[in-house]
Amino acid sequence: MKALFINGSPRKNWNTFKLLESAMKGAAEAGAEGELINLYDNAFKGCISCFACKLKNNKTNGLCAFKDALTPTLEKARAADVIVIGSPVYFSNPTGVVRAFIERLLFPVLRYDLNDRTLIKKIVPTAMIYTMNCPEDYMEQVNYPVLLSPNDQALKMLFGYCETLYSCDTRQFTDYSRYDVTMFNGEHKVKHQAEQFPKDLEKAFELGKRLVEKAIKN
């Protein structure tokens, strides 16, 4: 049982990473072998529209035909039983590299057949974990669940299952006093990190565990 964790933040030890790390611990408790990949370590592009994966009788088998630094990660994702993608919210979207990764992961498994949309023949539980500055009570007002949902919906359509976890009001800076910021209160962020973030880590742990248990049952 293999579980793959994709960090779509350029920061390797911050909020998104920590949630993924916790999800990976949960997955390990359920019996999975986990691996975490930092997307920013790879120089890669999004889908280049070559359509090799849409040719009749093509042999790509759901793996992107365009070979670059992302190929080993895509191979691991294609072989994984569970996939968890973590992304900070950048301008109401996942980060650019996460979008590029999702294009390269999903387009090759998408079939242009109304009766059978996917090459994936078993359920591969997936999840998106989003981190953001936005406070919990403001997230709905700025429509983030709706704006972010195309990613989750596409994963659900093609892999059969997707959960979403939002971690709000994250701490962005170690020392807020060094930055030109009046919109966020450093003391509030430190308190929120101490009080709410551990609860989000726990939710991520449970999520990782649950996805693996689901993969085992399938």
Ligand X SMILES: Cc1cc2nc3c(=O)[nH]c(=O)nc-3n(C[C@H](O)[C@H](O)[C@H](O)COP(=O)(O)O)c2cc1C
Smaller CB distance to ligand X: residue 189 or 210?
189
Angle at 112 (CA atoms; ends 109, 118), nearest 5 degrees: 35
Residue 165 in contact with ligand X, rule: CB under 6 A: no
Span from 115-123, 127-135, 182-190, 210-218 in contact with ligand X (CB under 6 A): 127-135
# of chain residues touching ligand X (CB under 6 A): 16
Is 175 a binding residue for ligand X by CB under 6 A? The answer is: no
Residue 100 or 124: the one with the smaller Cβ distance to ligand X is 100
Residue 42: its H or E element = none
DSSP string, 49-69: ---GGGSTT---TTS-SS-ST
CA–CA distance, 192 with 135 (Å, rounded to integer): 10
- 88 forms part of the interface with ligand X (CB under 6 A): yes
Nearest to 88 by CA among 189, 19, 180, 2: 19
Pick between residue 58 and residue 92 the one whose CB is nearest to ligand X.
Answer: 92
Amino acid at 113: D
And the tokens for 186?
């450093």
β-pairing, 82-90 vs 93-94, is antiparallel
For residue 88, the minimal CB distance to ligand X (Å) is 3
Q: Which stretch binds ligand X (CB under 6 A): 24-32, 66-74, 88-96, 186-194?
A: 88-96
Quote the CA–CA distance of 183 and 198 in Å, as a whole number: 24
**Which one of the spans 7-15, 20-28, 120-128, 203-211 is the region binding ligand X (CB under 6 A)?**
7-15
Which residue has 């779509």 as its token pair?
8
- Rounded to whole angstroms, the Cα distance separating 200 from 195 reads 10
Q: Which of 44, 90, 176, 184 forms a contact with ligand X (CB under 6 A)?
A: 90
Exactly one of 3, 4, 6, 9 binds ligand X (CB under 6 A); which one?
9
Among the residue ranges 51-59, 66-74, 106-114, 131-139, the one whose residues contact ligand X (CB under 6 A): 131-139
Q: Is position 38 an interface residue for ligand X (rule: CB under 6 A)?
A: no
Instruction: Kindly list the residues in this chain that would bind ligand X in the complex (CB under 6 A).
Output: 9, 11, 14-16, 88-92, 131-134, 170, 172
